[in-house]
Amino acid sequence: MRWLKPAIFATTSVVSFSASMPSLHASQASQPWTHYGLRPLGMGNAYVAVADDFNALFYNPAGLARLKTWDGELLNPAITATKNVNGLVKDAKNLKSGSTSDTLNLVEKNTGENFDVGLSLTPHLIFPNFGIGLGLDVSAQSQFHRDVTVDLDAGVRAVLPIAIAKSFFDDRLSIGVGIKVRARVGIDQNFSMDDIAAFQSASQTNTSGKKLDDYVKAGTGYGGDIGMLFTPQKQYEPTLGLSVTDIGGTPYKQYKVKDSTLGAPPIQLPSVNVGLSAKPIQGSWYYLMTAVDMHSINQPYSFSKKFNLGVEGGLGNILKIQTGVYQGYYTAGVQFDVGLFNLRLVTYAEELGNTAGFKEDRRIAAQLKFIL
């Protein structure tokens, strides 16, 4: 039991970071706390206590200490889209002109719907105890409202983490730390039809005297993560996971373009995340893993959007099948890994309301890995 006291100390040390977190606003709490991986999303995004592949760089750096071998991916594009994007594209193609009245009809037809499409890359190189990676997202998301306005969130987000980890007490306790660079450029704004009409005109200026470029925000920031995994026994591998991402908050420094300075994106809030995982079934070439997570427990939004469940079954390294519950909605995923080819498919949903079960935004994502 020599490991018990250090394990308790490590746990309380990590949790203590949450006591010094700044006060948060609900509007800020909707920001993603990490770069979401397709495999974690397939198992309900319950991954803090799993963290056994490159996604540990984003969810819990302590997982790097439990890797058995190195892994690298250079070209692994992933495409994500809401299930109703195809309908919006068809409606847009059927527009007879680009007039304001046609645009208004398009908005009215799709009132209350959310549309999201994105392309992401996660190149990485990981070894036992060390890893470096990049989470790059290029996305556009819009939502139409009854007051004939449109929320537009479009741009590029990137996070580049570098992390190290170490195991102690016969690999029962693993601790990891990481530093990262965040970058963001884009628009996150609500626009009226008058704004849209003005931007379509030759002046490109709305009633407030602003150009579309004036709404662009860009910046870079530097943050840090810390994580822990604790497995008291080898049988069934029950594991407690704990991570704090963006310790103290990661502010963005404004970006200058020629003689002007763009507005800075809002601060990336700190997030305290906990999880439990276990492998109730495990053989030489198969396993069944279960996991449960609570994300951003220090942030002031509904418990129903923080609680996640996941299950994964695997046959060696060739096939992994996942399912789970994320933000109150089912998830499902599958991963094939044969030689130089890897395919990941997943379906999940984001909750558009303040509580789970209010408004489902179902999404489908696919990722391919080539060569490495």
Other CB atoms closer than 10 Å to residue 256's CB: what's the count? 10
Q: What is the pLDDT of residue 255?
A: 80
Exposed e or buried b per residue across 197-213, where buried means at least 16 C-beta atoms within 10 angstroms of its C-beta: ebbeeeeeebeeeeebe
Alpha-carbon distance values, 298 to 24, 34, 49, 269 (Å)? 9, 15, 18, 10
Q: What is the pLDDT of residue 104?
A: 66
Domains of the chain: total: 1
Given the DSSP bridges, would you call strands 217-230 and 286-294 parallel, antiparallel or unpaired? unpaired
Is residue 7 classed exposed, middle or buried when 0-12, 13-18 and 19+ CB atoms within 10 A define those classes?
buried
**Containing domain of residue 198, as a range?**
4-370
The CATH number of the domain where 27 resides is what? 2.40.160
Other CB atoms closer than 10 Å to residue 112's CB: what's the count? 10
Distance CA 341, CA 365 (A): 17
Distance CA 152, CA 285 (A): 47
Distance CA 256, CA 253 (A): 10
Distance CA 19, CA 16 (A): 5
Q: Which two tokens stand for residue 118?
A: 């994105």
Per-residue pLDDT 10s for the chain (372 aa) are 444 444 334 444 444 443 344 444 334 445 789 999 999 999 999 999 999 999 999 999 999 999 999 999 999 999 999 987 776 666 666 665 555 666 667 666 777 778 899 999 999 999 999 999 999 999 999 887 777 788 889 999 999 999 999 999 999 999 999 999 999 999 988 887 667 666 655 555 555 566 777 788 999 999 999 999 999 999 999 999 999 999 999 999 988 777 677 889 999 999 999 999 999 999 999 999 999 999 999 999 899 999 999 999 999 889 999 999 999 999 999 999 987 789 999 999 999 888 888 889 999 999 998 766
How distant is the alpha carbon of residue 285 from its chain centre?
30
Residues in the chain: 372
Tell me the one-letter amino acid at 38. L
Give the CA angle between residues 86, 92, 98 to the nearest 5°.
165
Task: Quickly tell me which residue has 């943050």 as its tokens.
Answer: 223
Distance CA 167, CA 175 (A): 6
Helices (H), the chain: 4-16, 38-42, 56-59, 85-93, 100-109, 193-200
How distant is the alpha carbon of residue 246 from its chain centre?
13
Give the CA angle between residues 122, 129, 251 to the nearest 5°.
55
Q: What is the pLDDT of residue 22?
A: 44
Alpha-carbon distance values, 120 to 62, 191, 360 (Å)? 24, 26, 22
